[in-house]
Chain A
Amino acid sequence: MSQFLQIMLSGLATGSIYALVAVGFTLIWQAAETVNFAQGEFVMLPAFFVLIGLNVLGYPLWISLLFGLVLSIVVLGVMFKKLVVEPILPSGGISLIIATIALGTFLKESVKEFYGAEAEPFPPMFPTDPINVFGAVISLQDILNLVISLGVVVLLTLFLNRTRTGRCMQATAQSPEVAEILGVNVKRMILYAFLINAALAALASFLITPVYLAKFSNGETLGLIAFIAAIVGGFNQIRGALAGGLLIGVLDNLTATYVTAEYRAALPLILLIVIILLRPQGLFGTSEGRSV
């Protein structure tokens, strides 16, 4: 029983990180039809920005985190949009997919060459003291991961539904042409989506790296899982991405514990294929294309 509880709690904690990354994924898909294959590297990189702040510039932790967040928004938000997406989008979605694949390699290699190939420890934002829950052990960090991820997704949904800017973003996602006619600054709305994605990636990075350790290759599996979470939940739904992330986090741990450890990596993939076959709009998605 305590084992099952342990698995569920740990799975939810990890799943909440997947959810953050998957939400960002769906946002820029909706804003600019960009399938970002570098999303995993987008989570890998901010941790290294923080490490530069800490180890190279000698800032204290909280300033380093702020520094990492700002730098992430500039590099993974603004620069990604201006230097990669905008010039290549006119050549079509396939070119853009390939460009983001190349971008993933570029980011990975940059970290490896300019920072280092070995894993680095990363300071936790919150105390890691274990808390005993009916025989299962969970850290404060895990609980906060879950709370923060849920909180961010709720806030984001409120922002999109309740504020003027948020509704303009939704309009842009549904039909850029119509939004333009209605006087929405479409370009700015798309930029917002990229900025939010970068911020979410940075947040996920700060939450997960103390456990995963900072390493240039960390994005490889994370990107794929987040991407599967997005598809499973429904590519056009923020709450779908959230549910998808949590679901995969839990299922992954359940498979590894009770079914097979050797094929644990196969489960999300099989889930992906089954979803695409039976319910391509995702578990929580609607079939009418893009809508927030």
Chain B
Amino acid sequence: MSFWLRPLFLAAMIVLACLAPLGQGNYIIYILTSWLLFSVAAMGLNLTLGYAGQISLAQASFMAIGAYITALLTLAGWHWLIAMPLSLLACFFIGLLLGYPALRVQGHFLAFVTLAFNTLVFLVLRNEDWLTGGSYGLVGMPRPDFGIFNTAKQLQFYYFALAVTVVAALVMWGIVRSPWGRAFRALRENPMRAESLGVDTRRITLLAFAIGSAYGGLAGALVTPLVQFIEPGSFGLVHSLRILLMVVVGGAGFFFGPFVGAAVVILLPEFLRFTEGYYLLIYSALVIVMLAFAPNGLIGIGARLRARFLPLQARGDLAQGSRLK
């Protein structure tokens, strides 16, 4: 896509997202809102997985940390605008603490450490009921009120979540475009060469993981006012795996991959009601097939089709580069 086409496409997407909930029942609006916030969580994981090439199996636990901090603070009367950044910061630093030792050793160990971390967070949330409400959870968190704009109603909350998502996406866009973000891609494509060019791979990977975790925290900060009830079970390992599959299905390393992936996981079951209990069965089988034949996910398939029908005059390595956007 040429230089001006991309922003145009982006604007069209935003307009579409603004129009989507109109005339829909509360249920569809609720589903669309969950799509937005899972897109945010998946966007964070996409940075870790797609750009820095590390598996994290703890995205749901970062959502949990964000959600609980936001819940506790807003219940104590703080405004969401203060609670949210604190949630983000907490997730960022916990990400650093968790990622540092794991990445010191060997790449794949992050997968193991995050796996353990996810369950540990669950146990702490369940057992420390003096703080977290234990298995009963926390209930009755207020939705943010911005004076002229109150998000108490479903539709208003959707636009609020949309605004947060767009801002988060723009920030992510900036991160990926920055020289620093280019280092990620160099790293993923060829770690050895990146290192020889003076990229400190460990530091870059660690930062990617921490930022990715902060995005998980942001998604959590949105879950709290959306559901207005949180309990440890909503942030179990299954949910981390679910977010991971979103990133993979959408296309790891593609900017819009998480949005597509989250849409497939959240919205598609709505249209596949007829498959009843078989939905997860079909879905997991398709993921395996996709990994075998189209490891770059749905966006990867789209890009491949586009390349076939709209051949661009480009050098091989540039084409390679454009795949990473």
Contact = CB atoms under 8 A, between A and B. Distances in A.
Interface of A: 35, 84, 87-88, 91-99, 101-103, 105-106, 109-110, 112-113, 224, 227-228, 231, 262-263, 265-266, 269-270, 272-273, 276-277, 280
Contacts of A262: 123, 126-127
Nearest to A93: B108
B178 interface: no
Given A102-B284, A102-B285, A269-B117, 17 more contacts: A35-B108, A84-B292, A87-B292, A96-B291, A97-B111, A98-B287, A99-B288, A103-B288, A105-B284, A109-B280, A109-B281, A109-B284, A113-B278, A262-B123, A263-B123, A272-B116, A276-B112
B234 interface: no
A114 B53 CA distance: 37
Tier of interface size on chain B: 35 or more
A262 B241 CA distance: 24
B112 A99 contact: no
Contacts of B244: 98, 101
B176 interface: no
Interface in B101-129: 101-102, 105-106, 108-109, 111-113, 115-117, 119-120, 123, 126-127
B267 to A, nearest CB: 19
A270 B280 contact: no
B284 A103 contact: yes
Contacts of B245: 98, 101-102
Contact of A273 (B49, B111, B116, B123): B116
Interface string B226-245: 00000000000000010011
A102 B288 contact: yes
A91 B102 CA distance: 23
B241 A266 contact: no
Contacts of B280: 105, 109
B248 interface: yes
Nearest to A94: B55
19 contacts: A35-B111, A84-B288, A93-B108, A94-B55, A96-B291, A98-B248, A98-B287, A99-B288, A105-B280, A113-B278, A227-B112, A263-B123, A265-B123, A269-B116, A269-B117, A269-B120, A276-B101, A276-B113, A280-B106
Given A94-B49, A99-B291, A106 B285 contact: yes
Nearest to B126: A262
Contacts of B106: 280
B137 interface: no
A276 B113 CA distance: 8
B109 A88 contact: no
B316 interface: no
Interface string B62-83: 0000000000000000000000
Nearest to A33: B108
Contacts of B269: none
Nearest to B248: A98
Given A91-B291, A106-B281, A113-B277, A276 B120 contact: no
A99 B281 CA distance: 13
A269 B113 CA distance: 8
A244 to B, nearest CB: 13
A98 B241 CA distance: 9
A81 B77 CA distance: 56
B287 A99 contact: yes
A74 B117 CA distance: 35
Contacts of B115: 224
Contact of B53 (A94, A103, A228, A272): A94
B295 interface: yes
A101 B57 CA distance: 11
Given A102-B284, A263-B123, A266-B123, A277 B291 contact: no
A280 B55 contact: no
A1 B174 CA distance: 64
A227 B112 CA distance: 9
Nearest to B287: A102
Nearest to B278: A113
A224 B53 CA distance: 23
B119 A265 contact: yes
B261 to A, nearest CB: 12
